[in-house]
Structure 1
Amino acid sequence: YKLEGAVKFNEISSEVELTYRELFFKAKILSQADLSNINLEEKAPINALIFVPFENSRITWKLINSYQDFYYRGITKRISELLWEFKQKNINKRITWDDIANIKGIGLTTLTKLKKFLILE
């Protein structure tokens, strides 16, 4: 099984077919996962990528671990990668909304989306 999103482990091996509940238990679902639209008793597809969405939870800047933390919250992949690169280059700097607004490619729409879930310390 291959999983993406709000899981700790992205690949799970099993000799038997698993339900979503069994699979998610093995994949260690994160507390921010939104399972509301998933029937946990249904069998999970073996040869398909399974995406576990995040609930619209807020996250702090320092807890961003990859571009996917932005991407899975509705930011485009290109902008997510730009934000991740910016974070890596400014790892020890206190970031402001002005800093983010000055990243080339970040506009008002992206800033509005970011402000809904991103907490700057």
Structure 2
Amino acid sequence: MEKSLLALDDAQRMLQVDEAEWLQFLGLFVTTSDRDLARLREAFSGRQLDDVRMLAHRLKGSCRTLGLDDAFRALELLERMDAATPDPAWSRAYADALAAMARCIAAARRRMGSACPESAD
């Protein structure tokens, strides 16, 4: 089984929520993550680095709660970037964070099946 799906199952057990509550929680994760990723893309393309860091921090918290460690680490790196960081490092951290979040959202959607909300993209 995929690492992200295993993490989601582990998080459900740790949080001790039933299936209906878990599906609602995952739906909220998917919806808010889609929205925050759209904002992150806008902030990055506009070079609004404070907004990029704030959104990375916000997404990072959700990933930590769900045990999505790869996305957590990628977002943490993006959050730590500052104005003195060379552009290639920013671009790499941004691309890594987007890819990690895409995997996590896809895993959440698979876990939710037909209960999954429509994508904001």
TM-score by length of 1: 0.30
Higher-Rg structure is: 1
TM-score by length of 2: 0.30
Judging by fraction of residues, say which structure has more helix. Answer: 2
Judging by fraction of residues, say which structure has more strand. Answer: 1
- Between 1 and 2, higher relative CO (CA 8 Å, sep ≥ 6) is seen in 2
